[in-house]
Structure 1
Amino acid sequence: MTLPDGSRAVAADYTEPSWRARCLVVGGDNDRPELLAGACRGADLLVHEATYDADTLARIGPEPMHSSARAVAGFAAAAEVPNLILTHFSPRYQHGGRRGLPLECLEREARDVYEGTLYLAADFDRFELGRDGGLQRTGPPYD
């Protein structure tokens, strides 16, 4: 557009770019996370069940239709998903491992194969996926 003084006004000089749409994929009760490969192409976040560690899942077998932390994290790494939230853990995993296995073993297993932002979700957790695609835990809903 030409202004009365003859100078040109270009819209790009006066507007900000639109925010890139964010994409997240939620998968549960899925023993084959690779089935989500198409949906995860370009995704910013994968939220997926990681009911077991790999050793426990190998002992239990494929019948429960659940994943291991290693399988999900390995898939997320291969799919280049920058943020991962694991959830839906078997009750055999507890914080600190006072009764049963330590929940932290699932995090260690995932960390062995995944370098992105990783969280193990707890009941009532809240997360924010920022406009820049960064993920952070913002707390439980009633803090």
Structure 2
Amino acid sequence: MHLTFLGTSSGVPTRSRNVSSIALRLPQRSEVWLFDCGEGTQHQIMRSDVRLSQISKIFITHMHGDHIFGLTGLLASCGMAGNAKRIDIYGPSGLGEYLDACQRYSETHLSYEVQVHRVKPGLVVSDPEFSVYCAPLKHRVTAYGYRVEEVDRPGRFDLKKAQAMNIPPGPVYAQLKRGETVQLDDGRMVDGKEFSGAAQPGRKLAYCTDTIYCDSAVDLAQDVDVLIHEATFAHQDAGLAYQRLHSTSTMAAQVALGANAKNLIMTHFSPRYAPGNAIQLNDLLAEARSIFANTRMAHDFMNYEIKAHTPVMAAAG
């Protein structure tokens, strides 16, 4: 599971940061899931390692423009490229009507199927490998955070033990790897569970934006390998955060701490913290790390691999 940050600014783009979008790449199935799609997302994709043709799902947190203005253009480009077969889009009420209006008034005709799903708290979608859940956040409009869970994977197969027991290689090994009980040609009954180590826990990811600190974000992010959380404001600007229902760096860190997350990646930064200003982004990072050490700041085109048992990041650097 690989993350690519396509936009990490809040509200408006800057010279170095586009507005919100994150790509979750699933290399084992040649598939990409997008989370939010701000204006210019398709341009960011072209400048990254993400392949437009692999996008199969798009998850929208809320209906503010910096999270949805790139949708219609991206969908149109997917159609013109001729690679898309179907894209499922998940989001709050009004998303389908918005896309219909954009396509109708721009006379955009898609050559593939697009299905829009209105989300509700709880399970959003699942397949044999992944489940996606959502929970309400606290913002000026209806907003949802998302949680992606990978199913637990079987433990490592003990090949040496199988060879020592003179079990012939072939389809039998595949059955034993799945934990099945198999009768061999010589009549022996062999339990596959005896050849597998402990199951490897599936990886978990949570994405929370836009929101002020709220308990539902903590619940959604419980025990995740990576929490991606907005940090629009510095702690010193908490008054603005409460007025606009956005998070400070310290709020993001408190969510990660309360959720027992392994790592926190902050994003959605206000342009007010540009170089030369009194408060800069490094100050937000220091504020967050004073509460939750395993914090880093996202930047556009940053890649991050979510590994099984992700190692704890160093507090500095």
TM-score between the two structures when normalised by the length of structure 1: 0.77
Q: What amino acid does structure 2 have at the position aligned with 1:12? A: K
- Which among 11, 14, 31 is matched to residue 192 of structure 2? 11
Residue 114 (structure 1) aligned with residue 295 (structure 2): no
Partner of 1:93: 273
Partner of 2:282: 104
Deviation at 1:50, TM superposition (A): 0.2
What whole-Å deviation, never above 9, does each CA across 1:69-119 have from its counterpart, x for those lacking one? Answer: 01110221122111110001111113xx3245221000100011113x321
Q: Greater RCO between the two (CA within 8 Å, min separation 6)?
A: 1
Residue 69 (structure 1) aligned with residue 252 (structure 2): no
Deviation at 1:14, TM superposition (A): 3.1
Q: What amino acid does structure 2 have at the position aligned with 1:78? A: G
What whole-Å deviation, never above 9, does each CA across 1:2-36 have from its counterpart, x for those lacking one? Answer: 65386x63313434554322111101110124321
Give % identity: 26
Partner of 2:264: 84
How far apart, in 1, do the equivalents of 2:241 and 2:197 lie?
Answer: 52
Larger radius of gyration: 2
Residue 33 to residue 122, structure 1, CA distance change in 2 (3 Å): farther
How far apart, in 1, do the equivalents of 2:305 and 2:219 lie?
Answer: 24
Partner of 1:129: 306
Q: What amino acid does structure 2 have at the position aligned with 1:20? A: P
Is 1:92–1:100's contact at 8 Å kept on the other side of the alignment? no
Residue 34 (structure 1) aligned with residue 215 (structure 2): yes
CA RMSD of aligned residues (A): 2.4
Is 2:254–2:291's contact at 8 Å kept on the other side of the alignment? yes
Within 5 A, what are the aligned runs for 1:41-52?
A: 41-52=222-233
How far apart, in 1, do the equivalents of 2:196 and 2:219 lie?
Answer: 34
How far apart, in 2, do the equivalents of 1:33 and 1:86 lie?
Answer: 16
Q: What amino acid does structure 2 have at the position aligned with 1:39? A: L
How far apart, in 1, do the equivalents of 2:277 and 2:250 lie?
Answer: 22
Deviation at 1:57, TM superposition (A): 2.1
Q: Secondary structure at the match of 2:219?
A: helix
How far apart, in 1, do the equivalents of 2:302 and 2:312 lie?
Answer: 13
How far apart, in 2, do the equivalents of 1:68 and 1:14 lie?
Answer: 49
Please, which runs of 5 or more residues in structure 1 have no aligned partner?
137-143
Which aligned runs of 4 or more in structure 1 are off by greater than 4 angstroms?
Answer: none
How far apart, in 2, do the equivalents of 1:34 and 1:128 lie?
Answer: 27
Residue 120 to residue 33, structure 1, CA distance change in 2 (3 Å): farther
Q: Secondary structure at the match of 1:109?
A: helix
Residue 61 to residue 103, structure 1, CA distance change in 2 (3 Å): closer
TM-score between the two structures when normalised by the length of structure 2: 0.37
How far apart, in 2, do the equivalents of 1:54 and 1:27 lie?
Answer: 18
Q: Secondary structure at the match of 1:92?
A: helix
